[in-house]
Amino acid sequence: MTGGFYSLAAVFADEPKLTRAFQSGDGVGWGDHSECLFCGTERFFRPGYKAHLVDEWLPALDDVTPKLASGAKVADVGCGHGASTIIMAEAFPSSDFIGIDFHAPSIDHARAAANGQGNLRFAVAKAQDFDGAGFDLVTVFDALHDMGDPVGVASHIRQTLKPDGTLMLVEPLAGDTLEDNLNPVGRIYYAFSTNICVPASLNQPVGTALGAQAGEKRLTEVLKEAGFTRVRRAADTPFNMIIEARP
């Protein structure tokens, strides 16, 4: 939880920007926040990724781990500081990974953290039009709900996947109704959703503003609208749900 307090510090530091955003409805861009938001986000989510990603979440997907072990092509979209990308690249040295994010300072940080890992590279690009095709796996960690056009992003990801490829969507664990989220974790996520996630989406084209508490039902609707035909919850933790989507 310590990392979350770094992000909380960013909320207080950005209070004047958030006040103007609430008045105008224009939102606050991800890159316009205090820098402690970026390190705080990594520090909050990275322990969960280290604990669950390789041993639980990826094996919960159909036929993905064998592909990674033998050599797959993977894109990690909205990778931020690259914690998730680096964890996967270290665990599966036979596969090739690219981490993609539109925030250039975060990509600079990710490149430094990668420390020359041979099967890993990072690129600055937008989630809805990044280059590349023929991916066996595309991952999006705690990022789709922040994006202005999640349907457009998911649709582009579907086009970059192989016919038997997989999208692994990791999102904050949320119920489908307000009542389902009236718990300690839900209170934290509603607060960050209001101050970070929704303003970030409103600052981008379309501005769908899913927020951190979108819920499995709404996320499934987004993926189906983007053209995915098979969508299921593959795993969950107290903080995250892991959704598998197949073309």
Q: Going from the N-terminus, what domains does the chain have, and what CATH number goes with each?
A: 46-246 (3.40.50.150)
| Per-residue confidence (pLDDT) for residue 5, from 0 to 100 | 85
Whether 79 shows a pLDDT value over 90: the answer reads yes
Return the half-sphere exposure (C-beta side, CA atoms, 13 A cut-off) of residue 116: 0
Burial (CB count <10 Å: 0-12, 13-18, 19+), residue 24? exposed
Torsion angles phi and psi, residue 87, rounded to 5: -60, -45
Mean pLDDT within 216-243: 96
- Tokens, residue 89: 């690249």
- Tokens, residue 71: 């050599």
Burial (CB count <10 Å: 0-12, 13-18, 19+), residue 121? middle
Residue 8 pLDDT level (bands cut at 50, 70, 90): confident
DSSP 72-107: -EEEEET-TTSHHHHHHHHH-TTSEEEEEES-HHHH
**In this structure, which amino acid lies at residue 79?**
C
Instruction: State the Cα angle at 231 between 65 and 51, rounded to 5°.
Output: 45
pLDDT in tens, 105-157: 999 999 999 988 899 999 999 999 999 999 999 999 999 999 999 999 999 99
